[in-house]
Every structure is written in C-alpha cells, then in structure tokens.
Chains A and B, each alone.
Chain A
Amino acid sequence: MTSMSSQTLTVEVWRGADDGHFETFDVARRDHQTVLDVVTEIQRQQDPSLSYRFACRVGVCGSCAMMVNGRARWTCRTHISSLDADTITIEPLANMPKIKDLAADMTGFIDKWGDAGAGFTSARTRHDSPAPVDTLSRARKRADAAIECINCGVCHASCDVVKWNDDYLGPAALNRAWSLVNDERHTEKTETLAAALGPGGCSNCHSQGNCMTACPIGLSPTRSIAGLKKMSLLAMVGITP
C-alpha cells in the first residue's frame, strides 16, 4: 500500500452551491483519523468559512453524511485509513441541491417522505394508554429492520433511480411507508399504501440494491420496497394490510 506512505492528505472539498467548485487543502495524516476529523480540522485551522453538518460524531445521528470519493457515507464512521488513498474528495450528499460547501438541501428528501404517506395517524390520543404492540407478530417482524432508519439520506444519495427520475420517492421514504403499513397502530394503512404505489412509488425501483449496499447501519430499503410491491399485488386481489 504505497499510497499510505504519505504523511499529508490532499483533500478536495466542494465549495459553494450547485455552481461551486473544488478547493484543495493539505491536511496532516493522523492515527485513527476520520473524514469528519479532516473536515473539522480544515474548518478550525485553515478556513473557518467552511460549512458542514455534524452532531453526535459517533455514528448515531446520521447528520454528517457526505459524498466521500464519490460514495455516500457517514464521515464520522469513515476512517481515512480505510480509503487507502492520499487524495480524498468530499462533496455534499448527491441527488440533493447544494446549499453551501458540504451542506446539502434536504427539503426535497424530507418532502418525499410526506408524499410517500409517511405521516403516522393513530386512533388514540395523548389521554389514552400507549397501544400494546405484539413484538412477535408477523407485521411487526416484517418492519423490524425498517424502523431503525434514522433519515440520514445516504440511500437517497446512492440511488440511481432517484438521480434519473425527479418524481421517484426514493428508498428512505418508501422504507418509511413499509414501516407504517406494518404498524398495527397506524389507522391510514390504505392511504399510505396508495401513496407508496403512486407515480413516483415503489414500482420505479429496479432492485439494484445501491441503497442496501450504502446504508451505514446495514438496512435494506430494497427489501422494504419489494415488500410494498408484493403488498400492491395482493391488494389487487383484495388482500389489504
């Protein structure tokens, strides 16, 4: 691994909005250094005007997701040593407008959650006791993995269909719809399913599995979307969730 021998990293960082450009920074290589460490070092020691997002720094919140060498990743969980490169390219998440530097505009991404019927509706109010959910029920087990999603946007940025088709709701929003149609407390399952089957819905998915490969916590929106597709076929013969 000759590329690992250099003590200095060349870091190409996106600056500006969609019409921006790359700016090059040199950063010293350190032990156990993450991409987020590099971005933070640039901002604190070289250019305080650099904008980027982070919160927890330990792979819980998902807010530090960026494109690193062309792949969407959590920068706090990406060690520089794992990239095996002396030059690192860092951009804001793909498939979203760039606001400034490394911050992407996630408005469209979040709006698509609503379009996918992702709003939860309950028959209970705050005055009722919490609904008991049987964790061993078939529906609950189907949504077991899907409910772990923390909306980081990595799958959305990795999906080719999102890139090609502006109307496509994307893996994260459809994964959320899958959680809801399997949630026994949700009272508008039919509406959620109808939204998830609409023009930008699950039938657009090519099952390429980019979302599944990219998800930092190993979820499979592809599987959730396949579940929605199967549910759509069953709904056609009168079997509804």
Chain B
Amino acid sequence: MEARLYALQRLSAVVMAPLVVVHLITIMVAVRGGLTAEEILARTQGVTIWSVFYAVFVLAVAIHAPLGLRKILREWARLPQPAADGIAVISGLLFLLLGGGAVLAVGMA
C-alpha cells in the first residue's frame, strides 16, 4: 500500500510539473491587463482545451496534495496514522469537489 501511494505521489507530480508551468505562465500573462472575473471567464468559458487541462490538473492535485499532507500531519503534527489518513482522504475529496465543480461550471457554461 505505502509503495503504491509513493508511486501515485511521484506520478501525479510528473503530471503536475508541466501543468504548473503552463498555469503560472497563464497567470503572469493574464494579469498584465488587470484581473477580473469577466476577463478570466471570457478566456476560459466553454473552451474545451482549458476544461481538459484543468480537469487533469484537479485530479493530479487531488491525489498529490493529500499524500503530502498525510506525511506532514504524521511528522509535524504528530497525528496518529489513522487520523492523518482520514484527513488526507477528506482533503482529497474536497479538492476533487471544489476543483471539479469549478471545471464543470466553467467548461459546461
């Protein structure tokens, strides 16, 4: 199990690396003319490529971040393993729900 989680965290990091670069560059380019919800939606709403991009991103984050959080809770907050596992699962579902919801809302509009 631990070995599989380790592999999942590394694989999700590999997926995220190029996505994070594109995400950051997009932010830097996008904010040059100010940052408004209208402007962001005008660029992303109903654009399939961004929906796919962020759907993959959200999935990778929902796997990667909770696994990191699980270790931090164990090592720094000294939580027992079951508690760290539980919080990690809940946070993963939360990322999936919030991120997935946003992707659907923007993509399907």
Contacts and interface: CB of A to CB of B under 8 A. Distances in A.
A197 B76 contact: no
B2 A199 contact: yes
Contact of A201 (B2, B10, B71, B81): B2
A204 interface: yes
Contact of B81 (A161, A164, A167, A235): A167
A229 interface: yes
Contact of A203 (B2, B75, B78, B81): B2
Given A233-B7, A236-B7, A197 B2 contact: yes
B75 A161 contact: yes
Nearest to B4: A236
A97 interface: no
A232 interface: yes
Place the interface of chain B in its size category. 10 to 19
A86 to B, nearest CB: 36
Contacts of B81: 167, 199
Interface in A200-241: 201, 203-204, 229, 232-233, 235-236
A165 interface: yes
A198 interface: yes
A64 to B, nearest CB: 30
Given A197-B2, A203-B5, A236-B3, 9 more contacts: A161-B75, A164-B75, A164-B78, A197-B6, A199-B1, A199-B81, A233-B6, A235-B3, A236-B7
